[in-house]
């Protein structure tokens, strides 16, 4: 474990602390770092010089004087490098270029079908990476890393997809290696809901929360969990797999995972679309019938749109899905006692019916202590949650203690993860 390390732990710890303090603020003086982190002046001075030498920070404007000469403020060089990120959905690809501060510099979105398999989908992502890079104005820095969110379970350490129910052909596919070989930079891959939860934690509504449940309601249903201020992936990376929690004993409800009674089979986007089509064909919803006539298809987004236009049958479908998600969340709230539940994914844009139904069940069903200070709200990042979260994942990885230790030992960032 320590054989290749050339820095004593205490020196590396201090370097990471100093960099974190500067990275997470617009600007910082040496005195502020000493104060905030409790490090000694000498240690801060040495680590700051090291970070200046490596081009990770720069001297900014003069700060406030406390007597003598005003100190120069230190700033993180978010433009010292850039990142490529992709958010793969069941039916879409989002790619973006981000800076080292997680700001999105360019963004492209297009429809796709995850069922086309990894070669086709990842091949298209690689093309889009080149295109979006070419389309980003004024980009002169080096590419430092790649982050990818995929709509199924991922073994985080090996960066492979694992037994994904809606992703035929993806089982065991080395998504991380695929991009590492083509772009020669470190690559991080995670489940899309974990990535989105991370985005909300660092840059969205979950900032400052320690225990958060982020639920994505899209084609499928899944959750990303923040526990103790960090993402919780579980023993096999399948934590938050809430779409396959049993919510009914009805044996007729068969899920695509092969089990019976799963939440996703009743409240996921596919289920809502299916029930919407039935409402259109049976005449229960004239508005959905019109939509089916004109579009030839009923999607979950179409049902949400009709609910927003006052269609009673559609509103009922959305409310029923919300109530079922609420049942699952009530259980999850009893288990984890979060301070915040965030509702994201395509269906979260479905007007207020869904959120109202979820809230009603969770607050009605749970013990007072667990919901006393519980907030349930919509994702702040919306459809950008995936790419913002993927950039966050890469930045967390690049500036992690272990990786910085390896940079220092080798003298430069390296392409292994």
Per CB under 8 A, does 223 bind a copy of itself? yes
Closest CA to 144 of 178, 87, 174, 102: 102
Query: Looking at 86-94, 108-116, 219-227, 393-401, which segment touches a copy of itself (CB under 8 A)?
Result: 219-227
Per CB under 8 A, does 400 bind a copy of itself? no
Per CB under 8 A, does 331 bind a copy of itself? yes
Binding a copy of itself by CB under 8 A: which of 207, 309, 372, 410? 372
Query: Looking at 5-13, 70-78, 140-148, 178-186, which segment touches a copy of itself (CB under 8 A)?
Result: 5-13
274 is written with which tokens? 């299916």
Nearer residue to a copy of itself within complex by CB, 59 or 163: 163
Per CB under 8 A, does 157 bind a copy of itself? no
Per CB under 8 A, does 239 bind a copy of itself? yes
Distance CA 155, CA 169 (A): 16
Nearer residue to a copy of itself within complex by CB, 176 or 261: 261
Of residues 161 through 200, those in contact with a copy of itself by CB under 8 A are: 162-163
Query: Looking at 92-100, 117-125, 224-232, 293-301, which segment touches a copy of itself (CB under 8 A)?
Result: 224-232
Binding a copy of itself by CB under 8 A: which of 115, 245, 323, 380? 245
Per CB under 8 A, does 406 bind a copy of itself? no
Least spacing, CB of residue 335 vs a copy of itself, in Å? 5
Least spacing, CB of residue 255 vs a copy of itself, in Å? 10
Per CB under 8 A, does 336 bind a copy of itself? yes
Residue 35-64 contact track with a copy of itself, rule CB under 8 A, x = bound: xxxxxx--x---------------------
237 to 3, 132, 191: CA distances (angstroms) = 29, 30, 9
The residue ranges that bind a copy of itself (CB under 8 A) are 1-2, 5, 8-10, 12-14, 17, 35-40, 43, 153, 162-163, 210-211, 223, 225, 227-228, 230, 232-242, 244-246, 257, 259, 327, 330-332, 334-339, 365, 367-370, 372-374
């Amino acid at each position: 474990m320590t054989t290749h390390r050339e820095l004593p732990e205490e020196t590396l710890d201090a370097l990471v602390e100093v960099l974190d303090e500067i990275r997470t603020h617009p600007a910082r003086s040496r005195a502020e770092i000493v104060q905030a982190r409790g490090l000694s002046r000498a240690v801060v001075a040495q680590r700051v010089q090291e970070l200046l030498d490596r081009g990770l920070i720069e001297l900014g404007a003069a700060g406030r004087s406390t007597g003598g000469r005003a100190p120069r403020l230190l700033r993180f060089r978010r433009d010292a490098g850039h990142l490529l990120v992709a958010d793969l959905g069941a039916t879409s690809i989002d790619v973006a270029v981000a800076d080292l501060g997680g700001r999105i510099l360019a963004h492209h979105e297009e429809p796709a079908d995850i069922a086309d398999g990894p070669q086709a989908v990842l091949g298209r992502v690689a093309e889009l990476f080149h295109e979006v890079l070419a389309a980003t104005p004024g980009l002169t820095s080096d590419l430092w890393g790649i982050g990818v969110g995929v709509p199924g379970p991922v073994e985080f350490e090996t960066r492979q997809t694992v037994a994904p129910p809606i992703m035929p052909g993806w089982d065991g596919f080395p998504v991380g290696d695929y991009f590492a070989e083509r772009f020669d930079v470190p690559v991080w891959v995670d489940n899309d809901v974990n990535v989105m939860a991370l985005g909300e934690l660092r840059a969205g509504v979950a900032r400052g929360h320690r225990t958060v449940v982020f639920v994505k309601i899209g084609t499928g249903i899944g959750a990303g969990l923040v526990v103790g201020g960090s993402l919780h992936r579980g023993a096999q990376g399948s934590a938050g797999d809430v779409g396959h929690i049993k919510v009914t004993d009805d044996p007729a409800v068969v899920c695509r995972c092969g089990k019976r009674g799963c939440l996703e089979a009743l409240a996921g986007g596919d289920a809502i679309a299916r029930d919407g089509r039935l409402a259109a064909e049976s005449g229960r919803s004239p508005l959905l019938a019109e939509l089916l006539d004109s579009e030839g298809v009923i999607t979950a987004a179409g049902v949400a749109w009709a609910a927003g236009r006052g269609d009673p049958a559609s509103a009922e479908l959305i409310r029923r899905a919300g109530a079922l998600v609420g049942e699952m969340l009530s259980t999850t709230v009893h288990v984890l006692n979060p301070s915040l539940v965030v509702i994201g994914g395509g269906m979260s844009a479905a007007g207020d019916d869904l959120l109202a139904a979820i809230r009603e069940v969770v607050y009605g069903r749970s013990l007072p202590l667990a919901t006393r200070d519980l907030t349930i709200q919509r994702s702040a990042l919306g459809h950008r949650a995936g790419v913002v979260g993927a950039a966050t994942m890469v930045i967390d990885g690049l500036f992690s203690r272990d990786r910085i230790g390896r940079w220092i030992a080798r003298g430069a960032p390296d392409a292994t993860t």
